[in-house]
Structure 1
Amino acid sequence: MVAATSASKPSLYEPGFLQQSLPYRVVSYFAEWSIYARNYIVSDLPAPALTHVNYAFAKIDDQGEVAIVDAWAATDKPFGDDTWDTPLRGNLHALIKLKQKYPHISTLISIGGWSLSDKFSDVAFTDASRQKFAASAVAFMKRYQFDGVDIDWEYPVSGGLPNNKYRPEDSQNYVLLCKTLRQILDTQGAADGRHYLLTVAAAAGDDKYANFKLGEMAPYLDWFNIMSYDYHGSWETQTNHQAALFGNPADPSPQGARYSADYTIQHYIQLGVPASKIVMGAPIYGRGWAGVGATNNGLFQSASGASSGTWENGIFDYKDLLQRTQTQPQSYVVHWDSQAEVPYIYAQGLENGLFTTFENAQSIQKRVEYIKKYGLGGIMFWEASADVKDPASPDSLTGTAYRGLYQ
């Protein structure tokens, strides 16, 4: 718990404390589908170590309005003391109850994501379509008692799934979409006597954020959640760090130092985004390759393809990797790249050489130091179910970030 720094400043846990006044944000995405095979529910969230929860995801329907993706998960499945006649059940009711228990937390509905960005270009295209979309987003937010809206458009102009609609005008239209959302949120906020949040999940690769008019978007947003991860993965044939904090001069990839959180963040600042509106992303998962030789403990080496994974090939939950390193330390050997300031695992005797890039408590602490050094707005995690559940654990990535920023 964070004590007040002055008589006039309320405690972090005081009901009604406006979250935009917090010095740092600790944001985590809760994935709608985590309640199934992962068996991870809203009450499992590390609430004492969070300031904001983004619910992933809502979609854009054929009418250009915001809609629920999975009704059973979002509004129908009973949790806790829910009964058959509870008017609202599911994850969305569980989030309301979470805020009642932890009133310092704010929640945002995240719209879109990698697989649901196909209609953004259309809803951003005209003033009428922007107004319709924005009005529906705010109505959705109000109906389910969220505290704001998070837009996850992957990506304007180019770079997303093949079925996405793209236009050259997407860059400017995204600015106008943010402006329209801000206006309607502020109108609603004036009526309700409060501030509603507007954030975006923002690209990390320079080929993608080149299509964002970042400086023009910034005035309308409370902050940018920069997805500073997935720089590299098993879609490539050479191992690398998926979320390097800094570039390693030995990196042989064509992108080199450009694919690091430092490079991305410094360019966001150069392009007009205030440092205080930058929230650095961190992955609670690792990406893995198989068939990797032992040179340099597998780093920057050729691979035969994706490794095994926790739920799908090539991707491991952090808590899964942690358990493997703790129970089989001679097989899953953890190494540290002092240039990139991130760890990695090499298991020579598994899968013809298993290499995994991931985050641990040490690298999260390095991110915290960077956030403080440059006056950034905080840290964001994707996604909550992959972390250890107890935020008080020294192995909790979320807890490590919170302690580093607030204690």
Structure 2
Amino acid sequence: MMKQLSDSLHVDAKYYLTAAITPGIYSGNIRDGIKTELFNYVDFFNIMVYDDFNTTVPYRQHSPFSMAVSSLNYWLNTRGMPVQKCVMGIPVYGRPSGITQTNTTLTYRSILSQGGSPLSDSAVVNAGGFSNYTIYYNGQPTVKKKAAYARQVANGIMFWEFGQDANNDNSLIKAACDTIGRSY
């Protein structure tokens, strides 16, 4: 089915076929359902290197740099994804750890508006009926480190999601662009 879709989209070289995929750090049907033959049909794989959260384990970052390294290593080296098709995903939001995930995810912009620092990866915030809980996100230093790493080993980065970013010098997307020498 993906071959037929790829063939249809590539007529006249008008369209790309992309897929957002699991970070690949946990074994199981979601990861293992992505067959290696798809590498032949999909133009870019946006690897979602985020949402590694736990509702029962507190103080856990949902998108640490170590996850980016493990994820790209899995897809590029273990599975053999072509480097030119590998795009690392970076979150523009934060998640708590150790509590329910219902209405507790916040945009990066909202985290900053509650006093979070663009130079940190965690902040104490209020959301979803919870007061003074710690939310984990990627601040500018982590995003810069991830952007530099992706530039070395992959073919790009993508953000989930552009509209959640700050619209000033605290921008995560601007930090990544500055790191890789691109204009924002």
Could you say whether these structures have the same fold, taking a TM-score greater than 0.5 normalized by the shorter chain as the test?
A: yes
Of all paired residues, the percent bearing the same amino acid is 25
CA distance in 2, matches of 1:281, 1:227: 5
Q: CA deviation at 1:373?
A: 2.0
Supply the AA of the counterpart residue of 2:94: G
In 1: Cα distance, 2:117 partner to 2:133 partner: 10
Give the corresponding residue for 1:209. 31
2:151 is the counterpart of 1:372: yes
- Preserved CA contact (<8 Å) 1:334 1:344: no
Corresponding residue of 1:184 = 8
Q: Partners in 2 of 1:322 and 1:352 — Cα distance?
A: 16
Partner of 2:103: 313
User: Aligned equivalents of 1:352 and 1:386: distance in 2?
Assistant: 21
State the Cα distance separating 1:306 from its structure 2 match: 3.5
Which structure would you say has the larger Rg? 1
2:59 match: 239
Runs of 4+ in 1 over 3 A off after TM superposition: 332-336
Answer yes or no: is the 8 Å Cα contact 1:361–1:394 preserved in 2.
no
Q: Counterpart of 2:169?
A: 394
Cα distance, 1:353 vs structure 2? 5.1
Aligned residue identity for 1:404: T
Does 2:42 correspond to 1:198? no
Match of 1:223 among 21, 44, 64: 44
Q: What is the aligned length?
A: 174
One-letter identity of the residue aligned with 1:199: T
**AA matched with 1:243:** S
Question: Letter of the aligned partner of 2:41 in structure 1?
Answer: Y
Cα-to-partner distance string for 1:355-389 (whole Å, 9 max, x where unaligned)? 11101211110111101221x11111111221123
Task: Report the equivalent of 1:261.
Answer: 68
Cα distance in 1 between the residues matched to 2:179 and 2:117: 26
Distance 1:222 1:356, change over 3 A: same
Give how far 1:224 is off.
Answer: 0.2
**Residue 85 (structure 2) aligned to one of 241, 256, 277:** 277
- Correspondences of 1:5-404 after superposition (within 5 Å): 177-187=1-11, 189=12, 194-204=13-23, 205-207=25-27, 208-213=30-35, 215-233=36-54, 235-246=55-66, 260-269=67-76, 270-289=78-97, 303=98, 305-306=99-100, 313-325=103-115, 343-346=121-124, 354-374=133-153, 376-389=154-167, 393-404=168-179
**Compared with structure 1, are the counterparts of its residues 333 and 368 closer, same or farther at alpha carbon in structure 2 (3 Å cutoff)?**
closer
Question: 8 Å contact 1:224–1:279 — kept in the other structure?
Answer: yes
CA shift for structure 1 position 237: 3.9
Separation in 2, partners of 1:276, 1:344: 32
User: Could you tell me whether the CA contact under 8 Å between 2:46 and 2:86 is conserved in 1?
Assistant: yes
TM-score, normalised to structure 1's length? Answer: 0.40
Tell me what 1:19 maps to.
Answer: none
**Shift in Å at residue 335 of structure 1?**
8.2
Query: Could you tell me how far 1:286 is from its partner in structure 2?
Result: 0.4
Give the partner amino acid of 1:180.
Q
Structure of greater relative contact order (alpha carbons < 8 Å, 6+ residues apart): 2
In structure 1, stretches of 5+ residues that fail to align are 1-176, 247-259, 290-302, 326-331, 337-342
